[in-house]
Amino acid sequence: MKRTLISVLLASAVGLASVAASAGTVVVNGSTTVLPAMQKISENFMKKNSDIKVSISGGGSGHGIKALMDKTTDVAMSSRDIKPAEAENVKKTGGEAVRYVVAIDAIVPVVHPKNAVKDLSLDQIRDIYAGRITNWKEVGGADARITVVSRDSSSGTFETWESLVMKGERVQQRALLQASNGAVLQTVAKNPNAIGYVGLGYLVKDIKALDIGGVKATMKTAETRTWPLSRELYLFTNGKPAGDTKALIDFALSAEGQVSVKEVGFVPVAK
């Protein structure tokens, strides 16, 4: 899947705190799951608004929401809802977290294309990630030790995975923790014995999506919530947006902006 990197503003870059206030610039920060959709949306937005620059960085949902609290970003991307404590911290600084649903996603367990396993139950996936199932032969695959690939704790995808799959259990300590969907994709693509999970928009030929209990991860099953790991993807602003930020949000939620959501593999929310 082709992704165009519009303008990446590294989280550690000098001057991040002041750029959000710069005229003609909208800073977008957060979830690597939402990132491809916002890159495509922003690319088309800037074609229509050549006087506005959109600067985008990943780093995870938690990073984006923290930047919203610190007022170092105009828009926070998140693959999970904001936590009550986070919303309260925004209020303590005189702001208010305003939420927008920009897309619907499916978290999809993935393996190497050479892996013979095609379908797992949620219980089997949980047992693999908890360390109770350690060899692919236990679930119908080759006699090979399973390499578990997961996301780090700043990831909204990780938190959703913990809630919907792990049910309070911990991911095993041997798991390889990755900072982004792209890193999970690359790790699984290079290891025939690996299992990981990515957002729907990250499914490419280099990895193989697993069915869960006979259900395939598709835009339709995500939209109807028949896929057990469906979720909403969010944008947050600190207070009701105005000016260039409002223009970007409005475009993202418009029929035209939602075409971009579909183009990168997520489910649009605009009717």
What is the average per-residue pLDDT within 213-231? 95
pLDDT tens across 175-220, in order?
A: 999 989 999 999 999 999 999 999 998 999 999 999 999 999 999 9
- Separation of alpha carbons 122 and 128, rounded Å: 10
What percent of the chain has pLDDT above 70?
A: 91
pLDDT value of residue 14:
30
Say which residues have a Cβ less than 8 Å from residue 211's Cβ, sequence separation at least 6.
118, 119, 120, 217
C-beta neighbour count of 29 within 10 angstroms:
28
Q: Where are the domains of the chain?
A: 16-104+232-263, 106-223
Task: Report the amino acid identity of residue 265.
Answer: G
pTM for the predicted model, two decimal places: 0.83
- 1-5, 90-94, 222-226 — which is least confidently predicted? 1-5
Angle, CA 69 vertex, CA 13 and CA 62 arms, to 5° = 75
| 155, 58 contact by CB (below 8 A) | no
Strand 53-59 versus strand 25-30 pairing type: parallel
| 106-223, CATH topology level | D-Maltodextrin-Binding Protein; domain 2 (3.40.190)
pLDDT value of residue 271:
55
* Superfamily designation of domain 16-104+232-263: Periplasmic binding protein-like II (3.40.190.10)
- Looking at residue 163, the DSSP 8-state letter turns out to be I
Instruction: Calculate the alpha carbon distances from 190 to 54, 58, 150, 195, 209 in Å.
Output: 33, 23, 15, 11, 15
pLDDT tens across 118-128, in order?
A: 999 999 999 99
Rg (C-alpha) for the chain, rounded Å, is 19
CA 186 distance to own-chain centroid: 16
Task: Report the amino acid identity of residue 230.
Answer: S
Task: Report the amino acid identity of residue 183.
Answer: A
pLDDT value of residue 18:
34
The rounded mean pLDDT for the chain is: 90
Residue 270 has pLDDT above 80, yes or no: no
pLDDT value of residue 19:
40
Residue 9 has pLDDT above 80, yes or no: no
pLDDT tens across 142-182, in order?
A: 999 999 999 988 899 999 999 999 998 999 999 999 989 99
Domain 16-104+232-263 matches domain 106-223 at the CATH topology level: yes
Tokens of 63: 């990073």
DSSP-based three-state secondary structure for 70? coil
